[in-house]
Amino acid sequence: MNPVAIVYVVAKAVPAALQEIHFKVFHKSPVTMDSGLSGRNNAHGNNQHSRSYSKQEAARQQRHALPIFSVRKSLMEMVRKSSTTIVLGETGSGKTTQMPQFIYEAGLNGDKMIAITQPRRVAAITVAKWVALEMGTALGDLVGYTVRFEDMTSENSQIRYMTDGILCREALSDRQLRNYNVIILDEVHERTVATDVLLGVVKKAQQLRALKRLPPLKLIIMSATMDCDHFAGYFFDCPIIYLQGRMYQVKVYQMVEKISYIEACLKTVVEIHQSHPAGDVLVFLTGQEEIDSTVNKMRRLAKSFSGDLPKLAVYPMYAALPQTQQLDVFNPAPANVRKVIFATNIAETSITINGIRYVVDCGRSKVRSYDPITGMDILKVSWISQAQAHQRTGRAGRLSDGICFRTYSKGTYERLEKMTVPEILRCNLSATILNLLVMGLNYKDFDFIDKPPEEAIVGALLELKALNAISSVENPILTSLGAKMARFPLDPRYSKMLLSAPKFGCLEEMLTIIAMLSGENIFTYSSAKREQMMIAHSKFFDKSGDHVTLLNVYNEFKTKAKPKMWCFDNFLNERNLTHAASIREQLSEICKMLDIPSSSCGKDTVPVAKCLLTGLFTNIAMKQPDHLYLTSATALKTRIHPSSAVSGKFRPPVVVYTELVSTRLNFLRNVTEIDPSWIDEVVPNVSHLYQRNGHNENSFRSFSTHK
């Protein structure tokens, strides 16, 4: 294949206005590279879990080579003196794996656990596994993790990795967080809702413990890129520590051509493979479908390379990827093979992949934002922030000097937002406000580091009032139903459906449906085998819609002696189905604790549809003469998503849907047909909700008369 012509800015070969940018990232010991979480800790060699001396010595040498190791004593002294400490350490400095170990070795946690939060479950699990390996202990013993619906800890656990949402839920029952004396909030630059809430919750817990003269709660805030002054000001001008060490240099090239970013990424990978020295390539793209499609294109291109080039091993990487395929990404490439990984922004901070020397950054990611006026979840491809671009650049400098190719211009980079917009400013706040009420905190008095917009708060309160979770919008007080809803780690609408299920005699069915909706997509897609995939999926389709289709898949899955092979044959994700089964089991346990009686409606799908209405009554849409759908609450024109069981020729006249997503078009996802007469039967007092968006009661009642 001939070299691909693609023009990037090159230093000294172009005018000064288009000069190369240099970034420096921290040194990574060249002894052995792993997923960024390698065995660096002292091996606790005298206990029964100790490894061989040679492995201990290798781990000791690696750990001693890290920049963070040389400053561990002064670092711990600073943490000892301060109630809150901000640690700004470049990607690869070792802060995520080493900081909790330093604290444990220094005894700063006393007789309590050390909590380390991560924005993503995959990061919490992966890091915990590596730290357990470093410390020579079984996972779940001294070191463990807790993510939603999965707890791998024991009474012996001292270091506990978890998602930020888990610690938020723990605060519901213990505002002082008395299980911990040290809490580490990692990757705070991602600014998830749970992280922002935790900042306020931990700050309040520190104050409460000081007032009651309890042992102090130490907080460590960590990231590679964040607005330190903003965070320090929020925590009373707390100290900021900048971790510095030996560095590798990463050259950043900005593209000057204007072509589509996917085409630019493919051409750049070809150019790297044909004209650059050995080293694996990490390409940042925006989502699963885009990655799968691009991976297929890259694999086809790889077949046309000349025989004197190394082979190219191409892999996708995203959160929903089956675990076996994720392992392929982390395994070292064989001799004379170059790895190319196409990943979402999960690879920015949450995971680190061995051997990456080249990064190709498309400059975009998929961002979900919520419009409280329309009730629409907008999922669209958006430009990343400069902080994210810096994180991506750093991935090229872990093993040696590296290169980052940005498929956008220097001018575009300079126009990017400095920091990522906090999620709390662009999401549905219903669950957040419900949890604050459970903690006895009024949203008006809560100390948000960045306060959400008023319309988002009002929209959340209106939703909670409609669900009967609070007494009123003006003076929100938690109802007994609202307190029960908060017991479930779910969207309040899903909790309401489970609590309503006994009335319709369908708790077993609703447990399955909610569990399936709470996990990742269980369907896998193959462009190469599209026809086979469609036939396989259609076997589970139910004429009533997608919710019963999910129920059919799960029920069939549970009957199989060899589920892995069955899932492969039917283009289903076995890992996600297994996870859904685990979620269902835990939701069932919560129902038992709340004394909710078991019930089943068998093959009758009407009770399921009615029960869905109890939580999704604002999510109703009616088919129009042009075959599009008009949403009842906001009068938006939409269409049923093409993956739906009822997206064919005979679409139902009225549907209830789980979510409304806007990409290029507006789509209804997970829909079920309903009879309009059920609306008054199931939710007779709901019409007032539609008036806030300019739709009067008569327009809503027209659904009831539709035939």
DSSP notation for 288-325: HHHHHHHHHHHHHHHTTS-TTSPEEEEEEE-TTS-HHH
Q: Is the pLDDT of residue 541 over 70?
A: yes
Residue 267 has pLDDT above 90, yes or no: yes
Instruction: Measure the CA–CA gap between 396 and 662, rounded to whole angstroms.
Output: 34
Contact 605, 550 (CB under 8 A): no
Cα(655)–Cα(619) distance, rounded to whole angstroms?
8
3-class SS shares of the chain: helix, strand, coil, % to 5: 40, 20, 40
Query: Looking at the domain assignment, is residue 32 inside a domain?
Result: no
> Which of 26, 111, 134, 109 is closest to 70 using CA atoms?
26
What's residue 524's pLDDT? 84
Euclidean distance between CA atoms 502 and 524, whole angstroms:
33
pLDDT band for position 10 (cuts 50, 70, 90): very low
Question: Which pLDDT score, from 0 to 100, does residue 707 have?
Answer: 33
Q: Verify that 454 and 388 share a domain, yes or no.
A: no
Mean pLDDT over 600-626 rounds to 95
Residue 9's pLDDT is 55
Collapsing DSSP to helix, strand or coil, 404 comes out as strand
- CA-based nearest residue to 269, from 327, 312, 325: 312
Mean of pLDDT values over 305-318? 90
14 falls within a domain? no
pLDDT (tens digit per residue) in 234-261: 999 999 998 864 567 899 999 887 889 9
**Domain co-membership, 547 together with 690:** yes
Domain of 68, CATH number, reads 3.40.50.300
Answer yes or no: do 402 and 268 share one domain.
yes
pLDDT at 376: 67
Least confident among 81-85, 133-137, 213-217: 133-137
Predicted confidence (pLDDT) per residue in 417-461, tens digit: 999 889 999 888 999 999 999 998 888 889 999 999 998 999 899
CA 363 to CA 504: how far, in whole Å?
A: 49
> Do 603 and 532 share a domain, yes or no?
yes
User: Which residues does residue 314 pair with via DSSP β-bridges, in sequence order?
Assistant: 340
Q: Which domain holds residue 174?
A: 56-243
Ordered DSSP codes for 641-656: -TTSTT-SSS--SEEE
Size of the chain in residues:
707
464 and 604 together in one domain: no
The two structure tokens encoding residue 550: 């999910």
Of 214, 243, 272, the position where a domain reaches its end is 243
Q: Are 183 and 76 in the same domain?
A: yes
**Mean local confidence (pLDDT), 528-535:** 88
Q: What are phi and psi of 478, to 5 degrees?
A: -65, 130
Instruction: Compute the distance between CA of residue 487 and CA of residue 169 in angstroms, rounded to an integer.
Output: 9
CA pair distance 281, 131, nearest whole angstrom: 26
Residue 238 shares a structural domain with residue 260: no
pLDDT average, residue stretch 695-699? 37
Same domain, 503 and 617: yes
- Whether residues 235 and 114 share a domain: the answer is yes
Distance in angstroms (rounded) separating the CA atoms of residues 41 and 130: 10
Q: Are 125 and 145 in contact (CB under 8 A)?
A: yes
Question: Tokens in use for 638?
Answer: 């939409």
State pLDDT tens for residues 624-663.
Answer: 999 899 998 888 899 999 999 999 878 899 999 998 887 7
Q: What percent of the chain has pLDDT over 70?
A: 85
Q: Are residues 222 and 271 in the same domain?
A: no
- SS3 string, 103-125, reads HHHHCCCCCCEEEEEECCHHHHH
Q: Give strand pairing partners of 84.
A: 219
- Residue 618: inside a domain: yes
What pLDDT does residue 690 have? 43
pTM of the model as a whole: 0.77
3-class secondary-structure state, position 446: coil
Number of structural domains found in the chain: 4
> 424 with 432: CB under 8 angstroms?
yes
Q: Taking the CB of residue 531, how many other CB atoms lie within 10 A of it?
A: 8
Burial 623-651 (b: 16+ CB within 10 A, else e): beeeebbbbbbbebebbbbeebbbbeeeb
Is 72 within the bounds of a domain?
A: yes
For residue 370, the model assigns a pLDDT of 78
**In whole angstroms, what is the distance from residue 435 CA to residue 204 CA?**
15
Q: What is the mean pLDDT of residues 526-539?
A: 87
What residue type is 400 in one-letter code? Answer: S
Last residue of a domain, one of 487, 502, 532: 487
Task: Tokens for 144, please give them.
Answer: 């463990």
- pLDDT value for 133: 86
**Pairwise CA distance, residues 412 & 268, whole Å:** 19
Of 704, 615, 616, 614, the C-alpha closest to 660 is 616
Order of strands across the sheet with 180-185?
150-152, 143-147, 159-163, 113-118, 180-185, 218-223, 84-89, 240-243
Give Cβ neighbours of residue 128 (< 8 Å, ≥ 6 apart): 139, 143, 144, 145, 152, 159, 161
Instruction: Kindly report which listed range (16-20, 91-95, 325-329, 498-502) carries the lowest average pLDDT score.
Output: 16-20
**Mean per-residue pLDDT over the chain, rounded:** 85
Mean pLDDT of 155-182: 95
Q: Please, is 218 exposed, middle or buried when counting C-beta atoms within 10 Å of its C-beta (0-12, 13-18, 19+)?
A: buried
List the one residue out of 601, 644, 616 whose CA is nearest residue 511.
Answer: 601
Cα distance between residue 38 and residue 47, in whole Å: 20
- At residue 352, the pLDDT reads 72
Q: Is position 506 within any domain?
A: yes
pLDDT tens for 11-43 read 322 222 222 333 232 222 222 223 333 333 343
5-9, 136-140, 204-208, 334-338: range with lowest mean pLDDT: 5-9
pLDDT value at residue 149: 81
> What is the CB neighbour count within 10 angstroms for residue 291?
22
From the CA atom positions of the chain, what is the Rg in Å?
A: 26
Residue 3 forms part of a structural domain: no
C-alpha to C-alpha distance for 238 and 250, rounded to whole angstroms? 31
Instruction: Round to whole Å and give the CA distance between 456 and 436.
Output: 15
Among 435, 430, 433, 428, which Cα is nearest to 444's?
433
Q: In the prediction, which pLDDT does 31 show?
A: 24
Question: Do 472 and 578 meet the contact criterion of CB atoms below 8 Å apart?
Answer: no
DSSP annotation string for 510-526: HHHHHHHHHS---B---
Residue 312 sits at the vertex; the CA angle it makes with 310 and 315, to the nearest 5 degrees, is 155
Q: Is residue 17 domain-resident? A: no
Q: Are 556 and 673 in the same domain?
A: yes
- Whether residue 33 is contained in a domain is answered as no
Report CA 57 to chain centroid distance, whole Å: 36
Which neighbouring-strand residues pair with 278?
Answer: none
Calpha distance 410→255 (Å, rounded): 8
Are both 457 and 529 inside the same structural domain? no
Among 186, 212, 243, the domain-final residue is: 243
Tell me the pairing of strands 356-361 and 376-383: unpaired
Distance CA 283, CA 303 (A): 19
pLDDT grade for 324, boundaries at 50, 70 and 90: low
State residue 198 phi and psi, 5-degree precision.
Answer: -60, -35
Tokens matching residue 533: 């995939």
